[in-house]
Amino acid sequence: MGKVVTFGEIMLRLAPQGFLRFSQANNFDAIYGGGESNVAVSLANYGVDVDFVTRLPKNDIGACAMMEMRKRGVGVDKIVYGGDRLGIYFLETGAVSRGSKVVYDRAHSAIAEIESGMIDWKEVFDGVEWFHWTGITPAISQGAADVCLEAVKVASEMGVTISTDLNYRAKLWKYCDAAHREAVMTELTSYCDIVLGNEEDAEMHFGIKPEGISVQTEGHNVKAEAFLSVCEQMMKKFPRAKKVITTLRGSISASHNTWAGVLYDGTTLFQTRQYQITDIVDRVGGGDSFMGGLIYGLLKYPEDDQNALDFAVAASCLKHTIKGDANLVTVPEVEKLMGGDASGRVAR
């Protein structure tokens, strides 16, 4: 199985304990995480050789973020240093009918002030099979978008498989208008072989909507087949894409979600069983855990898209039981759930 590289921002996550509101908190739990770093941790847990590339401040907090990656078995040798601060986000965990809240404090972070030429992408991609980025990174700043474009161009030239999770974040796209955002994401996505996104990502970035349904009104009753039109429209817009994948999350409440996925290869629409995720522990990082499982599955089962998709959905289902950003599960645990064992019995 080949080497993987992910690129993006890792942040300090500060959250009130349990289900306390911000106004009730006297202290905060500190965790490090971010979209692309979470994918890297998932892959390392599955035994994949993976590097995480970012820009960190050369101070104690930057060192803590780097050590968190190293502790999880992720390569950190390609990280560059500079800037004054690590980005922070505050998380208030919701329950039942009260949704979770995120407040960002990441302006002028080390990676927000990254510039073209700071990373030697040819060196980074030497001997690499797969490169992953997300729509979060170009949303941070124009500089981050420019460096991400550098990366996909070099990866493409070197024959590296490129994947993205479109990850629309309304609170981040502040430096440009909607037309510029669409242009940035369209150019970056045009280099991708594998494209993951939900219906909101496709609509907000590219104006692509499911035909004949309203996700807002039909909620968790939406059928997988309804997203075939999204996949077809995405492939038409991005002809390089070999597979388009959509996650299907039904939000019954903040504590109870349904979870499934579909994969379209241009001919066949693969779909998974629908999981009922009740009593959610932490849904942050659910999409990242899906992407980590998908990359592993596509590398492990290159001729079996159904198995790869099933692995991704089962892996991300388990992530909802784990506190923190990253998915700390093993391949045997995922395969156990894939096999239908959701009993949660004690392993003795």
Q: What is the pLDDT of residue 217?
A: 43
Rounded Cα–Cα distance for residues 131 and 117 (Å) = 18
Q: Tokens 């817009």 correspond to what residue?
A: 237
Rounded Cα–Cα distance for residues 254 and 9 (Å) = 26
Q: Tokens 């700390």 correspond to what residue?
A: 328
Q: Read out DSSP for 14-57?
A: EEESTT--GGG-SSEEEEEE-HHHHHHHHHHHTT--EEEE-EE-
| C-alpha distances out from residue 164 to 3, 105, 190, 223, 268, Å | 16, 24, 10, 24, 21
Calculate the CA 78 to chain-centre distance: 20
| C-alpha distances out from residue 84 to 62, 141, 181, Å | 9, 16, 27
Rounded Cα–Cα distance for residues 344 and 337 (Å) = 9
pTM for the full model?
A: 0.94
Residue 52 pairs in a beta bridge with 6
3-class SS at 133? strand
Q: Class of 3-338 per CATH?
A: alpha beta
pLDDT tens, position by position, for the chain (348 residues)?
Answer: 899 999 999 999 999 999 999 999 999 999 999 999 999 999 999 999 999 999 999 999 999 999 999 999 999 999 999 999 999 999 999 999 999 999 999 999 999 999 999 999 999 999 999 999 999 999 999 999 999 999 999 999 999 999 999 999 999 999 999 999 999 999 999 999 999 998 889 999 999 988 766 555 455 566 677 789 899 999 999 999 999 999 999 999 999 999 999 999 999 999 999 999 999 999 899 999 999 999 999 999 999 999 999 999 999 999 999 999 999 999 999 999 999 877 777 676
The predicted-structure confidence for 279-299, as pLDDT tens digits, reads as follows: 999 989 999 999 999 999 999
Rounded Cα–Cα distance for residues 120 and 103 (Å) = 33
H-state helical runs in the chain: 35-45, 60-71, 121-124, 136-140, 142-157, 178-189, 199-206, 215-218, 228-237, 286-300, 305-319, 331-338
Q: Rounded to a whole number, what is the largest CA-CA distance in the chain?
A: 56
The predicted-structure confidence for 95-150, as pLDDT tens digits, reads as follows: 999 999 999 999 999 999 999 999 999 999 999 999 999 999 999 999 999 999 99
Q: What share of the chain is helix, strand, coil (3-state, %, to 5)?
A: 35, 20, 40
Rounded Cα–Cα distance for residues 117 and 94 (Å) = 41
Residue 131 pairs in a beta bridge with 5, 162
